[in-house]
């Protein structure tokens, strides 16, 4: 008799949705996942933890190689505005990037292969801190991961713009190189009635934001692609006090490492100009940097051909996107690929109202399990 996880995957997703946590603080999430993993037959499984992440090895019947499937597990600092009756119970945090869906799918994949082992070994990876500060690279470098280092790896990401039943990918670059951007400006505060005795950092920040928008338009090759976005500005404490400090927070996205170097060099030159022009001090922090998600050309083409033959989903060959994903570090070290999973919803990733279509969970489990079975039997 087969042993089932004691909840449906939809119910698992909904329970995970209620406990989003920051990167490397996914304590409730890890506990929840471990409880469900431990409810499965243990004979073929070896379970290990790494910080707040989990790695599960399912032993093959006649292993020649090790395959891996990776999911991410952290949430985002967003106040939820969905219509759900299972909203986040953690104020100020939400699973707004689909990691709750991703985890439910991974549990479904794990459950399938525990009950239906394949010839090869399979490692299911529950990776923390994808949204920041970045869990993929330190997990990749960890002893536990290296002990089970796979020969091939794959992952998926939900896509609001595609209908349920559709997946999308492409050989080569899928997601961009990304870097966080934090700029602090230090001047001299003072009374609003005496601006000549102060050094206003709100004005300096306003000039800098405008100048930053010239980088892509006038410094990056039009045949290349880059984005510089300032998403947050803070400065000052009251309307009649001149701000002595201002902070800009943003992101950089490029489709080539050369463009990333060029953009950062130009940012540094503009900031030096602000220091001179406004007689202030400035500091730049690039925060977390993620490598591009570059799909192995051969494996991705093979996967796409398989999907078309198998009919497990409708396949679209998509364009590259400026999305960032630290799965790129895994792909830099291990051949593999990522694909988009259609979850059709009018709200985009990282939106407070995003409500992915849960029917996509079944589609994803079907695609991933069938493909891994096929790959293992080649």
Q: Which among 21, 72, 111, 184 is annotated as catalytic?
A: 72
Q: Quick one: three-class SS letters along the chain?
A: CCCCCCCCHHHHHHHHHCCCCCCCCCHHHHHHHHHHHHCCCCCCEEEEEECCEEEEEECCCCCCCEEEEEEECCCECCCCCCCCCCCCCCCCCECCCCHHHHHHHHHHHHHHHHHCCCCCEEEEEEECCCCCCCCHHHHHHCHHHHHCCCCEEEEEEEECCCCCCEEEECCEEEECEEEEEEEEEECECEECCCHHHCECHHHHHHHHHHHHCHHHHHHCCCCCCEEEEEEEEEECCCCCEECCEEEEEEEEEECCHHHHHHHHHHHHHHHHHHHHHHCCEEEEECCCEECCEEECHHHHHHHHHHHHHHCCCEEEECCCECCCCCHHHHHHHCCEEEEEEECCCCCCCCCCCCCCCCCHHHHHHHHHHHHHHHHHCC
Q: Taking a C-beta distance cutoff of 8 angstroms, is the pair 117, 44 a contact? A: yes
Task: Assess whether 131 carries a catalytic annotation.
Answer: yes
264's CB contacts (< 8 A; 6+ apart) are: 179, 252, 286
Pairing state of beta strands 66-72 and 152-159?
parallel
Taking CA atoms, 170 is separated from 173, 282, 294, 340, in Å, by 8, 41, 9, 10
The residue annotated as part of the active site, out of 21, 74, 120, 131, is: 131
Return the active site residues: 72, 131
């Amino acid at each position: 008799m087969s042993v089932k996880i004691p909840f449906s995957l939809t119910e698992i997703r909904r329970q995970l949705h209620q406990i989003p946590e920051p990167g490397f603080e996914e304590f409730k999430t890890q506990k929840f996942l471990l409880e469900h993993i431990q409810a499965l037959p243990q004979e073929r499984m070896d379970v290990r933890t790494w910080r707040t992440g989990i790695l599960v090895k399912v032993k093959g019947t006649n292993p020649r190689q090790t395959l891996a499937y990776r999911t991410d597990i952290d949430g985002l600092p967003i106040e939820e505005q969905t219509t759900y009756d299972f909203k986040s119970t953690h104020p100020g945090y939400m699973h707004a990037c689909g990691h709750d869906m991703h985890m439910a799918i991974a549990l479904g994949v794990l459950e399938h292969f525990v009950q239906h082992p394949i010839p090869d070994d399979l490692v299911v990876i529950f990776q923390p801190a994808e949204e920041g500060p970045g869990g993929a690279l330190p997990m990749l470098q960890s002893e536990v991961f290296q002990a089970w280092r796979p020969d091939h790896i794959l992952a998926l990401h939900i896509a609001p713009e595609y209908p349920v039943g559709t997946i999308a990918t492409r050989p080569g670059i899928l997601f961009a190189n990304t870097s966080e951007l934090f700029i602090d400006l230090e001047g001299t505060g003072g009374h609003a009635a005496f601006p000549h005795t102060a050094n206003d950092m709100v004005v300096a920040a306003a000039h800098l934001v405008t100048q930053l928008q010239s980088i892509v338009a006038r410094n990056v090759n039009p045949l290349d692609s880059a984005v510089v976005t300032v998403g947050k500005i803070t400065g000052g404490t009251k309307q009649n006090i001149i701000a002595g400090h201002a902070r800009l927070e943003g992101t950089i996205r490029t489709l080539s490492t050369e463009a990333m170097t060029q953009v950062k060099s130009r940012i540094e030159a503009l900031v030096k100009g602000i220091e001179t022009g406004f007689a202030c001090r400035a500091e730049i922090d690039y925060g977390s940097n993620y490598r591009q998600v570059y799909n192995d050309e051969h494996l991705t083409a093979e996967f796409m051909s398989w999907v078309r033959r198998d009919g497990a989903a409708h396949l679209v060959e998509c364009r590259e996107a400026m999305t960032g994903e630290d799965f790129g570090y895994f792909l830099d070290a291990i051949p593999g690929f990522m694909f988009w999973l259609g979850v059709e919803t009018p709200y985009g990733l990282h939106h407070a109202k995003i409500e992915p279509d849960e029917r996509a969970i079944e589609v994803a489990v079907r695609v991933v399990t069938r493909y891994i079975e096929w790959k293992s039997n080649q």
